[in-house]
Structure 1
Amino acid sequence: MTGATYDALVIGSGPNGLVAANLLADAGWSVLVLEAQPDAGGAVRSSHELADGFVHDTFSAFYPFARASPVMLGLDLERHGLTWSHPPAVQGHPFPDGSWALLHRDRGITADLAERAHPGDGEAWLRLCADWDAIGPALIDALLTPFPPVRGGLGVLTRLRHVGGVDFVRTLLSPALTMLDGRLGGEALRTLVAGNAGHADIPLDAAGSGMLGLLLTMMGQTVGFPAPQGGAGELSTAMVRRLESLGGEVRCDAEVVAVETHRGRATGVRLRSGERYAARRAVVADVGVEALYRHLLDPSDVPARVVRGLDRFEMDPATVKVDWALDGPIPWASAPEHAPGTLHLAASRAEMAGATAQVASGYVPAHPFMLAGQMTTADPTRSPAGTEAVWAYTHVPQQTRGDAAASGPGGTGGTVGGDWGPDDRERFADRMQARFEELAPGFGSLVRARRVLGPRELEQRNANLVGGAVGAGTSQLHQMLLFRPVPGQWGRAETGVAGLYLGSAAAHPGGGVHGAPGSNAARAALAHARVSALTALPRSVGRSVRGTLGRGTAGGGAS
């Protein structure tokens, strides 16, 4: 059965797919988004399945990139029903001795807390914030625009002299474990920055990890780590509303199983139901890189250089996520001065590094480094008064060689085998819960309900989370920038198949709800459409227009 024809078809309704759809609709294109799941949003969704009155985010929860990204800000989603909610403090890291590292949206409060913990660190923090004020916006622009980042790159270069020049570049390239050792004397903020680097899979002692840690920390300092009021799904709902207001459509329960081509050009898609939709101008794929090239395309359509790159494509680690519905606030043994929304749980920087190294070596971590969220603290609508909706996730190996806990240190009472069936999931969730219990005695007695999502459950709910990987491919330097998704594509959205664009986190610049891959794909599609329109003009008119526009029209519209 053949469906309608649209200017553009978008495969997948994650944030990147919805960004691409909105930008194409802004240009006046007819757009249809096709989503395999029963509801839109990809990894930006929420549910009510744990307990009455509780809202839990199934995947992501806090969105600093959405408040810093020019792409997301440009959608003006507040006009379509989105309301942001901020916790009293952005982030917190509790230490075994009862002290806390805290990041507050008011940099003066952050500095005061740091000064009290270690004299001199307050002033040092304010100097670092001033440096970020000078260069941060240009750096974010460079990271989130198509490769090469011409405008953003020039912006960074012109501002470098204001922040210390080569010395600041050296800081950015330093490992997260040591990047601030010469700037700060206390452990608190250095540990917080290292914890932010741990949001990805770059080893904390590797070059590049420091820049990510500083980037996330400074976004927390400047725009916060907000949560959509009412649940993460409200962010996706606002994007769908905006698209529909422009005439775009979203169809769920519509799994695409093939991208159809004719003479080397993408012409449409086929659904599992047998239905077909045609695309006049473009197909944007908000899917994993292997799903696109190994499953949706006929092998004869995939360029040889891409096939070679796929053989070396590296996923990021798997993930285990636990959600709790608590009958009361987390009973911290030592409560923080300001309640944070986001938490990092590890005894020290060294323990963080040890846990990430164990995962990289194929071992389930004995003392997992956990990222966690107090959602009712961030947004009181998430659970009934006096209760707390809490989550935590941690990385585990894609292929397990063993359990670093051996026979269960950390209070688990059993070894995790790594098949991530029900027994493994529950044993490891016990290990994660024990980390809370150490810092908040009585945590377990408050648990009304618990949900454990292992690698398989995460992938079942979102096919882009292959093996439970949340980054759509490693964030290490050998697979970023011009190497993402594979060498030879130069960090561009173009796929080697005319009219087909990769617009997922597998593309440059990678994961995070910033919309950049979707934006890059839409811009590339629009640019190629303009070129096609020019080539269709009479020769004399075409020469005149092309001479006026110059050569910058094609190639993704970098700016």
Structure 2
Amino acid sequence: MTTETVDAVVIGAGPNGLTAASVLADAGWEVLVLEEQPEPGGAVRSAELHPGFCADLFSAFYPLGVASPAFTALDLESHGLQWSRSPKAFGHPLGPHDDDAVVVFPDPADTAADLERRFPGDGDAWMRLVEQWNDVRESLLELLLGPFPPVGGSVSLLRTLGTGDALRFARMLALPVRRMSEELFGGDAARLLLLGNAMHADIPPDAPGSGVMGYILTMLAQDVGFPAPVGGAGALTDALVRRGESSGVRTLCGRRVTDIEVEDGTAVAVRTAGGERVKARHAVLADVSAPALYRQLLPDEAVSDRIRADLRGFDWDTPVVKVNYALRSPVPWRSRSLAEAGTVHVGANSDSMVRWSADLATGVVPESPFLLFGQMTTADPSRSPTGTESAWAYTHLPRGITDDASADELAARVDAQLEAYAPGFGEAIIARMVQRPRDLEAADANLVGGAVNGGTAQIYQQLFLRPVPGFGGPRTPVRGLFLASAGAHPGGGVHGMCGWNAAHAALRDRKPTGLLRRGIHRLTRRVLS
């Protein structure tokens, strides 16, 4: 068994792991990243679907990435990252026969004018929402993405809004997205903008908390658009790798970590399937799922019965089925307004979204699925030859249904849904590839059963409850071991903040003041375990 010693070992080279590695290396630590797959990136990778057609295999658009305090601080643009944006951020047709679908324009005044002509008063309501967003943007992102408890963001938000308006704003964010959209707008078109974005998470539209995702993504769409890396999602990973290398990070692929060694309650080393042993002087950061960390990597004696019991209640988000397309021509949308939208929400108005969510909740493979559809060449012309389109669609199976037959059945319904909204779509297909839940998990072990969020985004598994009660955030019951994946607050999305928060927690625990923090940590561990 070969052995080496570094200051910190990072398990997993997804965006969170790579972000954490850069933060630690910037502080002067010697950092080694070990990745199971043959290439880094986790769920931020791209490949050639058909000659000349670049397909993003997992995530594709990154409004949270552009707004992320972590990615901003790492200055990835100085390491080769370039962003590209579609002429219109996203659109949402009311139904298959809608030939005038609502879209978000780059200028909020244009979006407002379009909404006003559809329903009087909605244009003014849109501008009020944008003005509110401009006021709360930095404070809200700090509150939602930063470490828990969110003291800085909360104080900043109170200073910005004042106590009364801050309470009203908190109430708005707690609303189900259907209720939020009805309180903010009078017309269906404006309401759909919020509703469609809320469905990027797995929270039903009538459930509390679903409004948060709808509000943030809709406002980010108006603010920064839905940007994509020039050349493919892999270009974001390449920039993160180069950023780490510039500070001395080493990243080794094809190294599957099988065990974390614990001595006297402290993480001291990791072992790989290839027989390597790497000792960690200061910390081990795990960009892996929470169940994998506690059930597979840690020794039995390091995990209490209480935590094992809590993990039995851990809830994954619903499985994803993704269909990638190489198209010989642009999508023949019935609504011409969608031709310039990078993202299109397809297949649901307000009521049918509720029915779709009910299908998922009751174990029914949806007959008429709601789709997120990406026009990647529209967003980044480098993705395919001129006059063609590299595109994808993804939707969800009910929780617990991951078999290939159900996935293929749902993928066929995706094709049919697109044909209904864009007659002639099928004739434009040059190449098509389905990614089933098992395909997603095989390519990234964190996507368990095709779940792409690291666990449900519903409020019972967020904030201080993520991944389990009492360990909301990066710290674990093992000293020197930190959860740096979407399994920890703030959860899913490509923003790097889970890794950023974990790295800063590790650095704080090495400072003299960390002695007190570690004492509190030991006391908390005894109480909660």
Please classify the TM superposition score into its range, dividing by the shorter chain length: over 0.9
- Find 2:507's aligned residue among 503, 519, 526: 526
Over 6 Å off, 4+ runs: 551-555
CA shift, 1:277, in A, is 0.9
Whole-angstrom distance in 2 between the partners of 1:478 and 1:191: 26
- Structure 1 residues 341-350 or 74-83, which shifts more? 341-350
The answer for the alignment partner of 1:339 in structure 2 is 340
CA shift, 1:266, in A, is 0.7
The answer for the alignment partner of 1:461 in structure 2 is 443
CA shift, 1:132, in A, is 1.3
Whole-angstrom distance in 1 between the partners of 2:30 and 2:257: 19
CA shift, 1:124, in A, is 1.1
Retained in 2: the 8 A contact 1:86–1:225? yes
Number of paired residues? 519
Tell me if 1:503 matches 2:502: no
SS in structure 2 at match of 1:320: strand
Counterpart residue identity of residue 4, structure 1: E
Cα gap change, 1:58/1:128 in structure 2, threshold over 3 Å: closer, same or farther?
Answer: same
Question: How much identity, in percent, do the aligned residues show?
Answer: 50
* Deviations 1:206-227, CA, capped at 9 Å, x for gaps: 1100111101111111121100
CA shift, 1:183, in A, is 2.5
- Structure 1 residues 212-221 or 338-347, which shifts more? 338-347
Tell me if 1:75 matches 2:74: yes
- Describe how 1:151-550 pairs up with structure 2 within 5 A: 151-161=152-162, 164-336=165-337, 339-400=340-401, 419-420=403-404, 423-489=405-471, 491-531=472-512
Cα gap change, 1:163/1:301 in structure 2, threshold over 3 Å: closer, same or farther?
Answer: same
Retained in 1: the 8 A contact 2:181–2:195? no
The answer for the alignment partner of 2:10 in structure 1 is 10
Retained in 2: the 8 A contact 1:531–1:554? no
Counterpart residue identity of residue 470, structure 2: G
- Structure 1 residues 185-194 or 301-310, which shifts more? 301-310
Question: TM-score if structure 1 supplies the norm length?
Answer: 0.90
The answer for the alignment partner of 1:543 in structure 2 is none
* Deviations 1:69-105, CA, capped at 9 Å, x for gaps: 1111111000000000000001111233222121123
The answer for the alignment partner of 1:408 in structure 2 is none
Whole-angstrom distance in 2 between the partners of 1:499 and 1:168: 38
CA shift, 1:364, in A, is 1.1
SS in structure 2 at match of 1:279: strand
Counterpart residue identity of residue 60, structure 1: S
CA shift, 1:173, in A, is 1.4
Question: Gaps spanning 5+ residues in structure 1: where?
Answer: 401-417, 536-545
SS in structure 1 at match of 2:486: coil
Pairwise CA RMSD: 1.8
* Deviations 1:204-256, CA, capped at 9 Å, x for gaps: 10110011110111111112110000000000100000101111100001110
- Structure 1 residues 217-226 or 165-174, which shifts more? 165-174
Q: Which has the higher helix share?
A: 2
Counterpart residue identity of residue 77, structure 2: E
The answer for the alignment partner of 2:91 in structure 1 is 92
Whole-angstrom distance in 2 between the partners of 1:125 and 1:223: 16
The answer for the alignment partner of 2:63 in structure 1 is 64
Cα gap change, 1:146/1:518 in structure 2, threshold over 3 Å: closer, same or farther?
Answer: same
Retained in 2: the 8 A contact 1:374–1:390? yes
Retained in 2: the 8 A contact 1:458–1:468? yes
Retained in 1: the 8 A contact 2:55–2:324? yes
CA shift, 1:9, in A, is 0.3
Whole-angstrom distance in 2 between the partners of 1:474 and 1:248: 32
Retained in 1: the 8 A contact 2:366–2:410? no
Whole-angstrom distance in 1 between the partners of 2:462 and 2:24: 26
CA shift, 1:507, in A, is 0.3
Question: Gaps spanning 5+ residues in structure 2: where?
Answer: 522-529
Counterpart residue identity of residue 450, structure 2: G
Counterpart residue identity of residue 42, structure 1: G
The answer for the alignment partner of 1:47 in structure 2 is 47
Cα gap change, 1:552/1:311 in structure 2, threshold over 3 Å: closer, same or farther?
Answer: closer
CA shift, 1:182, in A, is 2.7
Question: TM-score if structure 2 supplies the norm length?
Answer: 0.95
Cα gap change, 1:162/1:121 in structure 2, threshold over 3 Å: closer, same or farther?
Answer: farther
Whole-angstrom distance in 2 between the partners of 1:178 and 1:477: 17
The answer for the alignment partner of 2:24 in structure 1 is 24
- Structure 1 residues 184-193 or 452-461, which shifts more? 184-193
Retained in 2: the 8 A contact 1:15–1:41? yes
CA shift, 1:19, in A, is 0.6
Cα gap change, 1:216/1:337 in structure 2, threshold over 3 Å: closer, same or farther?
Answer: closer
Counterpart residue identity of residue 81, structure 2: L
SS in structure 1 at match of 2:6: strand
* Deviations 1:7-55, CA, capped at 9 Å, x for gaps: 000000111001100100010100010000011000000011x210010
Counterpart residue identity of residue 457, structure 2: S
CA shift, 1:165, in A, is 4.1
CA shift, 1:109, in A, is 1.3
Retained in 2: the 8 A contact 1:356–1:369? no
Counterpart residue identity of residue 82, structure 1: L
CA shift, 1:552, in A, is 12
- Structure 1 residues 261-270 or 22-31, which shifts more? 261-270
CA shift, 1:154, in A, is 0.8
Counterpart residue identity of residue 29, structure 2: W
Retained in 1: the 8 A contact 2:333–2:339? no
Whole-angstrom distance in 1 between the partners of 2:416 and 2:53: 23
CA shift, 1:475, in A, is 0.6
Tell me if 1:116 matches 2:137: no
Whole-angstrom distance in 2 between the partners of 1:162 and 1:476: 26
SS in structure 1 at match of 2:324: strand
Whole-angstrom distance in 2 between the partners of 1:525 and 1:147: 15
* Deviations 1:456-506, CA, capped at 9 Å, x for gaps: 0000000000000011111110110110110021x2211110110000000
* Deviations 1:258-307, CA, capped at 9 Å, x for gaps: 11111211111111111111111000000001100000011111133321
Tell me if 1:127 matches 2:111: no
SS in structure 2 at match of 1:105: coil
